[in-house]
Every structure is written in C-alpha cells, then in structure tokens.
Structure 1
Amino acid sequence: MNLLAFLASHNLFIVNSIRHFLLALQFFTRIPITGNLAHWVGFSDAHLARSSAYLPLIGALVGLFSATIFFIFIELLPNYAGNYWIAIFMTIVVSILITGALHEDGLADLVDGLGGAFTREKALEIMKDSRVGTYGSVALTLTILGKFIFLSVLAQVSLSLTFFAIVAASILSRFLVLVAMTWLPYSGDKVFSKSVAMFTGPRLTIFMIGTLWSAILFLIIYFCYTSWVWVGGIVASTVVLLLIIRIVHIKLGGVNGDVLGAIQQATEIGFYLGLLLIPPSLAL
C-alpha cells in the first residue's frame, strides 16, 4: 500500500510538473497552448507561481530555437563576407517573435519609469502606461543593437561558440529573473498586475527546482562546448543583475513584471559582453 501511495504521489508530481511547464510556455512565449491541451493544463495563481520554476527550461527552448535559426541561415547563405550579420539579425527577430517582445516591453517600461519620474509612485504610474517614451525607445535601440554587435563579434571568434552562447544566455538570463523573484519583494500594482501571482507560493522550493534545471542545462552546454569562456558570461550577467537590483531597490523598493523583463534583457546582453572579455585563446 505504501508503495502504491509512493508511486501515485510521484505520478502526480510528474503530471503537475508537465502542467506547470506548459503553463510557463503559454505565459512567457507565443507558442500556442490551445484546445483540450489548454483545458488540461488549466490555470490558477498557485500554478502560475509554480510555473516560474521552469523559466530556465523556457529559456533553453527559446534559445535553442533562436540558435537553430542562426545555424540554418549560416548554412543557407552564400559564403559572403559578413553573412553572419544576416543570420544574427534573423536570430534576434525570431527570438522577439517567440516571446512576443514580452521582455523588451518590460525593459522599455522600466527605463521610462526610472528616467521620467523622481518618486516611486510616479515611476510605477509611468510604467503602467502602454506607450513607449523616449527613454524606453533609447534603451530598446541600444539593447537590440548591442546584441547584434556582440553576437557579430562572437561569430568572428567561433560559430559554434555563438550557437551555444545564444542558448546559454537565454537560460541564464531567465534563471537570474527567478533569482530576483525569489529574494526581492514585489513592488507594483497588486490588484491589476498579471505578474503578482508569480511572487507567491513556496518560493524557496520553486527556486531550488529552477536552480536544478539551470545546473543540468549548463552542464549539457559545457560538455558540448568545454571552455572557460562561460565563466566570463556568468560573472558579467551576475554583475548586471546586482546593479539592476541596487537601482530598483532604491527607486522602487522591489521588483515587478517590468523589472523582471528588464533583468532578462540586460543580463542576456551582459552575458555576451562577458564572453567577449575572455581572451580568444580561452574561448576556443
């Protein structure tokens, strides 16, 4: 009887894990989860909170798809000088389409709020405005341009490194979002916000599951491309995260959905920069 209960409990854990992953896929990407599958997945604030544990897996999926686009265009394009520019451009476009510019929107809203207000209340009010202001437009332009430039330089170092870097950055940046969600208080509109539910639930357990997935995924990447270069990316992304946390702690007193989107974008670009700071001899 105890064995049956043990098997039943583990079967329930696996089923709920699949549901939470699919809910995360539905919430963080534009990949359609519809019909009977959507009905089976269901929705509740508790399930949405637990779905955040699978952010690294969502990052792996988005990153792998984007990196595959990079590889396909590299293979299809004629052997012209600088053809990787087209491949990288298409990679960035596809990654935005997959996520519906969810994180880019958060980045723009946060920078608009911090740049256009002197008080916390005014900043949060600006961040709720769907329109993009000057500060947000500049931040988006610099971020997308930065990704393009950094990946272009990486492609000159190694096409294989660029492929795995796209995947790794997507995973790590979403893991760092989970870090911020776990250890920082929520600061935003608790009535109308879509993301407030994700700050509830057993945060430490959710964080541990996300950490386990991140470790597994990074070990796979390391075995596929063994190099010290990953240390530079991880350190740079962590520094970027700490800087953002410091700023929003002072300005907002915590994090919200827009801050999380900004963290994903900023730590992703920080990861690419960190890779480039490592000498080429260690990257190959």
Structure 2
Amino acid sequence: MKSYPRQLHIFFNALTYYTRFSAPKWVEYSAENQAESNRYLPWIGLLIGFYTALIYWLGTFIFPESIAVILSIAASIWMSGALHEDGLSDCIDGFGGGWEKQRILTIMKDSRLGSYGVIALLMALLLKYNALLNLQETVLIIITAHCLSRFFPLIIIYREHYTGLEEGSKAKGMTTRKMTRFDLAIAFLPAFLCLAFSPFAYISILIPLLALTLWLGAYFRTWIDGYTGDCLGCCQQLSELTIYIWFCLPWFIG
C-alpha cells in the first residue's frame, strides 16, 4: 500500500473536523494526528475564504450585491457546519448567564441556546452583512478574513490552557497538545501570503486582531482559568467580524 506523508494525514484530520469536506480513504485518524492538526486551521480558512469569495463573486453577476453577500455568509456557515457560530453563541451564553467558573462551563456545555447567545449571533450576522456591503475589495477581504481569523485563536491555545468540561467535549482532542512556535509559523504562513498580496495598509489589521486576542485570552483566564472550544469559536467569529468592520473605516472606503 502506498504511504503518504504524515502531514497530509494531519491536514485531512483538520479538514474533516473543521469543515464538511470528506477525506480520502487512506487518511489515518488518530488522537495524535488530531492533536497536531490545529496548525492547519488557517490553511482551511484559506480554502473556505476562496470558496465563499467565489460564491460572492459569481453571485454579483446574477443577483443584487446584498443577495450575493447573504449567499457568501450562508456558504461559509454551511462549509464549517456552523462550528464557530455555535462557539460564539455558547460562549456568550456562558459568560452572560454565569458568575463563577463551574456555572459558566455548565451553561456553555448546555445544548440549548439562551437569549444572550441568540442576540450575539443575530448581531454578528447583521454586522457581517452590513460591513460586507460597504467594503471596497470584498473578494480579497473575504479570503483574508477567513484565513486570518482562524490564526488568532491558536494564540490562545499557545498562551492558555484548556479548562473545559472533558466529558463529551468535541474540542478536547484538538486542545490536548499545546501549540509550539513551529506550529504557529506553519499556521501563519497562509495569513502572511494573504497580506503579501494585499495593499500594504492592510497589515494594520494585525493590531486590532492581536489586541482582541490578548484581551479575550485574559478575560477567559480571569473567569474560567483558561479556554474551551467555544471560547476559540468566539475568538474566530469576533476576529472575522473585526476584520470586516476595520476595513469599513473611512480611510479604506473613502
């Protein structure tokens, strides 16, 4: 039987976890491969970004731009199985309704969606929709946003420790291993490529993204002594939203 490089196995472990895509039959699934697969999350974000940007671009030839934007957002949600959106709503529910660690973790683990989560999700989708309608380089920014927003949660994994409820946790296998600097270098490469092919001023987005990530890491640490998978999903969604809003500033759309 033909053997394949181990990194391919690790990549496809990440692909099948973070998206609805299937992998070739020869892929080996293991706890070790899964634990190392986070390094490829921004690469998967790049794929999702290209796909959703293509949906948007094609949609503008057929529909009004507003509909093309909705189709693009819907495509990204479908491709990821709403994994990150679910993390955002659960995270906001937990921190909105809980006042101590165990209560926050219990609420986040509850499959039912509360008022805080519903409002947060609706606000995030409305802000994405309106921000995307006002962008100048929409295709490029969509690709960059999906890639970059999946890098910064890895900084939280690198700096903090997992503190979620282990029983039945879907994210546990992805967070048992701390990120290394080598992992972060591999993860940042697609983000670097996106910024390299963007106008130089786009590099400025790294400032608010880093500030947001460090603040979220400190906030999670203060309240629950670390992070959970829902916290990472929340970080991804807020990072993606930050990118869209940042590029709506006057000096980008003036």
TM-score w.r.t. structure 2 length? Answer: 0.93
Structure-2 residue corresponding to 1:18: 8
2:187 partner SS: helix
Q: Does 1:210 align with 2:191?
A: no
TM-score (norm 1): 0.83
Q: Does 1:67 align with 2:53?
A: yes
* CA displacement 1:24-44 (0-9 Å, x = unmatched): 1100011123xxx24x21211
When you count helix as a share of all residues, which structure comes out higher? 1
Measured in 2, the distance between the counterparts of 1:236 and 1:64 equals 23
User: 1:168 maps to what in 2?
Assistant: 144
Alignment of 1:116-195 (within 5 A): 116-154=97-135, 158=136, 161-195=137-171
Identity of aligned residues (%): 33
Pick aligned residue for 2:175 from 199, 213, 223: 199
CA contact (8 A) 1:238 1:267 kept: no
Query: CA RMSD, aligned part only?
Result: 1.9
Residue-by-residue CA offset, 1:230-272 (whole Å, 9 max, x unaligned): 1343222222222322221111111110001000000000111
Kindly provide the amino acid, as one letter, of the partner of residue 104 in structure 2: A
Name the CA distance, whole Å, in 2 between partners of 1:183 and 1:209: 17
Q: 5+ residue gaps in structure 1?
A: 1-11, 78-82
Contact 2:162 / 2:176 at 8 angstroms: preserved in 1?
Answer: no
Partners of 1:212 and 1:65 lie apart in 2 by 19
Give the letter for the 1:226 counterpart: P
**C-alpha distance in structure 2 between counterparts of 1:272 and 1:143, whole Å:** 11
Once the 2 structures are TM-superposed, how far is the Cα of residue 144 of structure 1 from its aligned partner? Answer: 0.5
Compared with structure 1, are the counterparts of its residues 273 and 75 closer, same or farther at alpha carbon in structure 2 (3 Å cutoff)? same
2:175 partner letter: F
Gaps in structure 2 of 5+ consecutive residues: none
User: Which of 1 and 2 has greater Rg?
Assistant: 1
Alignment of 1:70-81 (within 5 A): 70-77=56-63
SS of the residue aligned with 1:174?
coil
